[in-house]
Chains A and B, each alone.
Chain A
Amino acid sequence: QLQLQESGPGLVKPSETLSLTCTVSGGSISSNSYYWGWIRQPPGKGLEWIGSTDYSGSSYYYPSLKSRATISIDTSKNQFSLRLNSVTATDTAVYYCARSPSRQELKNWGQGTLVTVSS
């Protein structure tokens, strides 16, 4: 059974880089049949797609985050990661990782991890 688990610091200082990892179990991240992506949800607000990448390296990012976000895959650890540069308080959110059989079908989700941006 596929499982995704987010991990990373729960507190990041303003202007620093947010780094999260999603560990995949019960399936191989090397499969070329899926996209691996990140979605976030600020407190009390809706869902916001950050971006996704596939095994070949094709990446897509939401336009407003494209300059600050990078999603990468580590096949040796069966993990994928998110880096978000120059964070501000508006980046405070629960961050979810997800696996998608197509660009828009967010079929499998992690449980989410809260990241707070504060000094």
Chain B
Amino acid sequence: QSALTQEASVSGTVGQKVTLSCTGNSNNIGTYVVGWYQQISHGAPKIVMFGNSLPSGIPDRFSGSKSGTTASLTISGLQPEDEAEYFCSTWDSSLRAVVFGGGTKLTVL
């Protein structure tokens, strides 16, 4: 049972806008910045968003936001290479640990 809750799967067509969500509580998402990680074909995860800051080299079709205890990753103009599993993560002050969501498998149709 993951500390953060994500959709198991999301799909979209090329060019579409999709939003992935990540829900936690006041001990984690409600207080701390959320990171999003892309894992393609079971390779090493790569950070694609930290809060609403785009890491170097990540296309600007990725954006991040947060409202209360739910964080979101939006991909505007979905591309075939965006097909991957996406994990959200943040600090949890109750556990004094980094916690992850269970991951969302994004399929590009």
B33 at the interface (CB under 8 A from A): yes
The chain A residue sitting closest to B102, CB to CB, is A46
Contact, CB under 8 Å: A106 / B97: no
The chain B residue sitting closest to A98, CB to CB, is B45
Taking the closest CB of chain A, its distance from the CB of B43, in whole angstroms, is 8
Contact residues on A (Cβ < 8 Å of other chain), bracket? 20 to 34
Flag B17-58 by CB within 8 Å of A: 1 or 0 each. Answer: 000000000000000110101000011111100100001000
Identify 8 residue pairs between A and B in the complex whose beta-carbon atoms are under 8 Å apart, listed by A's number: A39-B45, A47-B45, A63-B95, A94-B42, A104-B33, A104-B98, A106-B47, A109-B46
Name B's A-contacting residues (CB within 8 A). Answer: 2, 32-33, 35, 37, 42-47, 50, 55, 87, 89-91, 95-103
Name A's B-contacting residues (CB within 8 A). Answer: 37, 39, 46-49, 51-52, 60-63, 94, 96, 102-107, 109-112
